[in-house]
Amino acid sequence: MDTEPYRDDRMFVLRVTSDFRKIEDDTFSVTMKIDKEVDFSKPTIIVTYRNTARLPSVRVDEFPSRWDALEYVKKVFHL
């Protein structure tokens, strides 16, 4: 069982990015740099990380555009 402590009261944190590569086995390679130019029409992923010191990824959702990804976040978090 994972007993690594959480960094604060949030169990998970999200990252919205278009800076990724999809690999043949349906995995993703994501750079850890900030998206400098945001093109809202590019395919986008949301990576969900457990909010611990190592920030392990626990889920990746793929969207056809950043607009679609943001609509998903608004719907899930009732924004």
Which pLDDT score is estimated for 16?
A: 93
Neighbouring residues of 65: CB distance < 8 A, sequence distance ≥ 6: 40, 41, 42, 43, 44
If one counts every other C-beta atom within 10 angstroms of the C-beta of residue 22, the result is: 13
**What's the average model confidence in pLDDT over 20-40?**
85
| The two structure tokens encoding residue 76 | 């899930």
Which pLDDT score is estimated for 2?
A: 60
Q: pTM of this prediction?
A: 0.84
Dihedral sign, Cα of residue 39, residue 60, residue 72, residue 32 = negative
Which pLDDT score is estimated for 32?
A: 79
